[in-house]
């Protein structure tokens, strides 16, 4: 609900800016003695109206969460098979790794923007950057896991098993962030507080989703295990 209110504020700013630009264009055309006509208007209907977007938000959230849950279950099952009878992977820890890879790292590299920020011409460019950022996040998690397992295999009591993997992941993320091309987004004229609140709302939503996913999965795993142990 908080994010929806922020989106409405951003849309209002976008509509006001578009209307002002239209009026300026009309005045410029009229001053040349031409007809004050324009090819488009600020009131043009969007492909999907705001009413439809608001009504479809719960359904879209449910479908997204369900799809993410299926992917999470598949990854957890693969991790369970790879431990070869050792301790069952902790679903909360796996959810934290997923959040870091799919949400946190992309957020640091290309944080979400509300309506009125960014142009439609740069959507493909920004989408490509986001996709690379997700791959970078996944790579950082894999590097952390592989390096940690290798150090533990070589020297199980080494305190470096916790330090080196984290440092390597941070270096990888920082290097990718520095090499990533700029999005070219223009933030001039947009309220900084609205931008900040929107991004914090988006980050909180992602964190809540992954935490609930990990806790729910861990709870169900424990109940299933207890049921199997009953005589």
In this predicted model, what pLDDT tens digit does every residue of 37-81 receive, in sequence order? 443 443 445 555 666 666 677 787 788 888 888 998 888 888 777
Cα→Cα distances 144→14, 86, 126, 151, Å:
42, 20, 27, 11
For the segment 1-30, the average pLDDT, to the nearest whole number, is 56
What's the pLDDT tens digit per position in 78-110?
877 765 555 566 888 899 999 999 999 999 999
Cα–Cα distance measured from residue 19 to residue 41, given in angstroms and rounded to the nearest whole number? 8
Place of tokens 């009309």: 26
Cα→Cα distances 11→5, 42, 114, 123, 194, Å:
10, 11, 8, 18, 12
Range with the largest mean pLDDT of 47-56, 108-117, 199-208, 216-225: 199-208
Would you say residue 34 has pLDDT above 70? no
For the segment 125-143, the average pLDDT, to the nearest whole number, is 93
Would you say residue 149 has pLDDT above 90? no
Of residues 47 and 138, the one with the higher pLDDT is 138
Residue 106's pLDDT is: 93
The answer to which of 3-12, 29-38, 218-227 has the lowest mean pLDDT is 29-38
State the chain's mean pLDDT as an integer: 77
Number of alpha helices (DSSP H) and beta strands (DSSP E) in the chain: 7, 0
Cα–Cα distance measured from residue 58 to residue 63, given in angstroms and rounded to the nearest whole number? 9
Share of the chain above pLDDT 70, in %: 68
What's the pLDDT tens digit per position in 106-127?
999 998 888 767 677 778 888 8
Per DSSP, the three-state class of 68 is helix
Residue 46's pLDDT is: 54
């Amino acid at each position: 609900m908080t994010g929806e209110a922020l989106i409405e504020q951003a849309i209002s700013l976008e509509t006001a800016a578009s209307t002002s630009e239209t009026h300026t264009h009309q005045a410029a055309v009229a001053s040349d003695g031409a007809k004050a006509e324009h090819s488009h208007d600020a009131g043009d209907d969007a492909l999907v109206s705001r009413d439809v977007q608001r009504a479809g938000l719960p359904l879209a959230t449910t479908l997204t969460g369900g799809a993410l849950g299926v992917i999470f279950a598949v990854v957890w099952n693969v991790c369970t098979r790879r431990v070869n009878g050792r301790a069952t992977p902790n679903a909360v820890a796996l959810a934290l790794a997923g959040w870091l890879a799919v949400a946190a790292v992309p957020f640091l590299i290309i944080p979400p923007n509300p309506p009125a920020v960014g142009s439609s011409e740069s959507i493909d460019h920004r989408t490509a950057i986001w996709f690379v950022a997700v791959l970078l996040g996944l790579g950082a998690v894999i590097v952390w896991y592989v390096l940690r397992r290798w150090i533990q295999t070589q020297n199980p009591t080494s305190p470096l098993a916790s330090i080196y993997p984290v440092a390597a992941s941070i270096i990888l993320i920082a290097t990718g962030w520095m090499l990533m091309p700029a999005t070219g987004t223009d933030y001039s004229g947009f309220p900084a507080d609205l931008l900040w609140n929107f991004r914090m709302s988006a980050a909180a939503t992602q964190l809540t989703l992954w935490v609930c996913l990990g806790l729910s999965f861990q709870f169900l795993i424990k109940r299933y295990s207890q049921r199997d142990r009953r005589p």
